[in-house]
Chains A and B, each alone.
Chain A
Amino acid sequence: MSETTGGVEMQEDVSGVVKKFLYVNRKAPYGTIYALESLEVVLIAAAFDQDVSLVFLDDGVYQLVKGQHTKTIDVKNFSPTYRALEGYDIEKLYVEKESLAARGLTPEDLIVPVTLLSAAEMSDLMDGQDIVLSF
């Protein structure tokens, strides 16, 4: 069965394994590469049909703000990708209420519909995950 893998036992019955993946986004979009890298890795997990949730805390909420125009800073505007996530069956997007309020933002300022959670609720969500990836 594993003759072609040089003796390494390949796990072939992984199709049924679905883990809960949580991506924690805490950085503003263009000052660092974190936000863009997070999106890349999110799409990888989606390709493996995992149970994916994205949360946005602190400056991470800035990633979702509408009306980003990046031509004059000569970097790719990746904010439309958040709207495309639905097409990859990634529909669980959570934003921390407190972080939004601290920045004078409301859900109407965001590019996608999200679920608002308090920090306490977010903490419960985090606690219930199999894998937590932090950006």
Chain B
Amino acid sequence: MLHTVNKSPMERNTLERCLQYAKKGSAILLIEDGVYGALKGTTVTDKVRKAMKDVTIYALYPDIEARGMQDRAIDGIKLVDYGGFVDLVAEHRNVQSWL
């Protein structure tokens, strides 16, 4: 299953809820303000790093770049473009959007 998160983890609890729900082997794609959850040195970094042992985390690079966060993504998070976003949706049987 693919999960998407589009809100900042400092403002909403959607990333936290997503991490609780995401089963081993599933994928999480961070988009829009959700990309703030992909960064080093924040209050949620440790939680995300821990989750990466069981799930693959992706972040939409255009949204990272728009926010001036180039080079700040946690190592191991896969950066994708819009084409990669489409591939992820196509590869997974279903999608839960944590709005």
Contact = CB atoms under 8 A, between A and B. Distances in A.
Our verdict on whether A and B bind, yes or no, reads: yes
Interface of A: 27-32, 58-59, 62, 65-70, 72-73, 75, 77, 79, 102-105
Ranked nearest first, the 10 interchain pairs of A and B with the lowest CB-CB distance are A104-B41, A31-B33, A72-B62, A67-B68, A65-B68, A68-B68, A70-B66, A73-B66, A69-B65, A102-B43
A102 B11 contact: no
Nearest to B72: A104
Contacts of B65: 69-70, 72
Given A31-B6, A59-B8, A103 B42 contact: yes
Given A28-B36, A31-B6, A102-B10, A62 B67 contact: yes
Interface of B: 6-8, 10-11, 32-33, 36, 39-43, 45, 61-63, 65-70, 72, 81
A59 B67 CA distance: 12
B19 to A, nearest CB: 18
A interface SS class: loop
Contact of B68 (A72, A73, A79, A104): A79
Given A59-B33, A68-B68, 4 more contacts: A67-B70, A68-B66, A77-B66, A103-B10
